[in-house]
Structure 1
Amino acid sequence: MAMARGVQNLLRKRGIYRNFHSWKISGNQQEVPPCTIDGIHVFRCPDRLGIVAKLSDCIASRGGNIQCIDVFVPAKKNVFYSRSEFVFDPARWPRALMDDDFRGLSEMFNAEKSIVRVPDQDPKFKIAVLASKQDHCLAEVLHGWQDGKLPVDVNCVISNHERTPNTHVIRFLERNSIPYYCLPTTPGNKREDEILELVAGSDFLVLARYMQIFSGRFLECYGKDIINIHHGLLPSFKGGNPSKQAFDAGVKLIGATSHFVTEELDAGPIIEQMVERVSHRDTLQSFVQKSENLEKQCLMKAIRSYCELRVLCYEGAKTVVF
């Protein structure tokens, strides 16, 4: 104790020591920086002067700051597309007020689409996944959800083929309490009414190699987007075992396409495409593995792009993907 008092006296003489309770912050105190979070806004409206300026002013007037903005105005078309990423302080710009502000902007420019999303505040997208026999795309989506690579919640998995209880997919679904429904189909019964009931609470559907064609009635009744994936061997190699057909034909380029589902088979607006070269050194096994890897990657990229509001339909059959 005596030694401690001696040290204190020495520090006092040198003007260093202060009693803990006597410390004061002198000078200008820095304000605590606001707690900012990310927002996304997409816009489609008739093109006219001043849209970007008004959009920037809308965000800046609430203390927000645009981090990046992508704009597309097609040549000789009176239409404007944009996607903005911004940061803002939710204390200064509450979510309800943000919706009102962007609604006013939408009315000002007669927007056909104006969507705002705050990933940290808004619920994750709820999806239902449909698959047939093959598991590679289904497993990729499930693991992407588990690893946090996809901002979604999986409501259920639906298949038209039974899976035995001890398979990897079934064990995964059971561990994570994700319902699995097996609805075997026939040419005369696609089980569409039952599927509609199961997917009623979803925000969009993912077809992870679901080898069935939905009717126009199903698409109309569901009324939301459906994302599909298929190999890039169409239309040359149709029917059963297209990979072997393409391998036997000696193709040098394979691919995968992810697109929105429409009534016309595999002809909906394209979201993502990927390609890879193959050669004479590939075996049928490596050929198939490369094809399946492309399908998995392409589907995951399409889902992420969709959830990040990067995809806008353009001229009916096309998409703008920012």
Structure 2
Amino acid sequence: MTDTYILTLQCPDQPGLVAEVASCITEYTGNILEAHNFNDRDAKRFFMRIEFDLAEASACAKFKDAFTVLADTKGMDWALRDKRQARKVLLLVSKFDHCLSDLLYRNRIGELDMDVVGVISNHPAESIGTTSLKHFPFWHFPITKETKPQQEAQIKQVVEETGAELVVLARYMQILSDDMSSYLEGRCINIHHSFLPGFKGAQPYHQAHARGVKMIGATAHYVTADLDEGPIIHQDVETVSHADTPQDMVRKGRDIERQVLAEAVRLHLEDRVLLDGQKTIVFRS
């Protein structure tokens, strides 16, 4: 039996990186299954994702020790993960349940490998359409302008207690505070119901209709303190026409939102997204 690992790294660009990383893997019985790398020439940064098998379980610890030495020498930020370990994911939702239901369905059929540790909403469970909530821990944390700090403290407590590695805002219609955004930096994905950076704020489909657009879209991005301006992970669009009403656009938009969010979550879970300042490097399979 072999164990499969995913190695991700970034560092200042320099000659020989690909060869040295590959040599370190093969030295410890590693067999490379998939490899991607990218040089950001403007930033002079090197990015890499390698998926590989180790024939001997005992080789992992030895590989880590050896790679730590290499990484320190090259100034690498790196991570190594056992592919068998599903990520712990916490889902946040308000009343619109289409993205939540889609994520839970894809998880159930094995399309998304995530350990759903719970669902949080600012509305009671009975106001959310999906029936899947009964299978997961559920927290109802109401929120008002005055109680926002206390409500976010409750969310933080759940994140800590469950060990959630990723928080997904599956149409959670609350703006996170700067403090909360910083706390979840790099591990919180939001779905925005428009093709960013256009049509921010409320009723984007109505804005799009008023402008007579011919395409609508959705954007999944990491949450930052700058509203709807976090690093973009995935986007998609749908053709519309003059005959489409705002309601038609909402209907079409729901489908795009589901697909875009699910793909962004998949990419994150599979360690295919590396942050490059305000951008992302996405290594697709």
**Could you tell me the TM-score, scaled by structure 1's length?**
0.80
Match of 1:28 in 2: none
1:118 to 2:82 alignment: yes
**Matching residue's letter, 1:209:** R
> Which residue pairs with 2:121 in the alignment?
159
More relative contact order in 1 or in 2 (CA 8 Å, sep 6+)?
Answer: 2
Tell me which residue corresponds to 1:199: 159
Residues 83-138 of structure 1: CA distance to partner in whole angstroms, max 9, x if unpaired? Answer: 112233134x5432332233222112121x21112212xx3111111111100111
Deviation at 1:217, TM superposition (A): 1.8
User: What is the identity percentage for the equivalent residue pairs of Structure 1 and Structure 2?
Assistant: 41
**Partner of 1:105 in structure 2?**
70
Q: Does 1:43 align with 2:9?
A: yes
> What SS is found at the alignment partner of 1:82?
strand
Identify the match of residue 184 of structure 1 among 136, 139, 142. 142
- Larger Rg, first or second structure (1 or 2): 1
C-alpha contact (below 8 Å) 1:125/1:152 kept by paired residues: yes
* SS class of match (2:95): coil
- Asked if 2 retains the 8 angstrom alpha-carbon contact of 1:159 and 1:182, the reply is yes
For residue 256 of structure 2, what is the aligned residue in structure 1?
Answer: 294
Residues 14-60 of structure 1 deviation map (CA, whole Å, 9 limit, x = unaligned): xxxxxxxxxxxxxxxxxxxxx33432211111121211111111111
Residue 107 of structure 2 aligns to which amino acid in structure 1?
W
SS of residue paired to 2:99: helix
Query: Alignment partner for residue 209 of structure 2, among 232, 240, 247?
Result: 247
Cα deviation for residue 239 of structure 1 reads 5.4
Question: Which protein has the bigger strand share?
Answer: 2
Indicate yes or no: 2:92 matched with 1:130.
yes
TM-score for both structures, normalised by structure 2:
0.89
Q: Structure 1 pair 300/217, CA: closer, same or farther in 2 (3 Å)?
A: same
| C-alpha contact 2:185 2:223 (8 A) present in aligned 1 | no
Matched, 1:71 2:31: no
2:231 pairs with 1:266? no
More divergent stretch after superposition (192-201 vs 261-270):
192-201
- Code of the residue aligned with 2:219 in structure 1: it is T
Equivalents in 2 of 1:274, 1:263: separation in Å?
Answer: 24
Ranges in structure 1 where 5+ consecutive residues have no aligned partner: 1-34
Contact 1:206/1:228 (8 A) holds in 2: yes
Q: Which residue type is aligned with residue 182 of structure 1?
A: H
Alignment of 1:206-225 (within 5 A): 206-222=168-184, 225=187
Structure 2: stretches of 5+ with no match in the other structure:
none
1:88 to 27, 36, 54: 54
Any idea what the Cα deviations from partners look like across 1:293-317, whole Å, max 9, x if unmatched? Answer: 1111111111111111111111x21
| One-letter code aligned to 1:196 | K
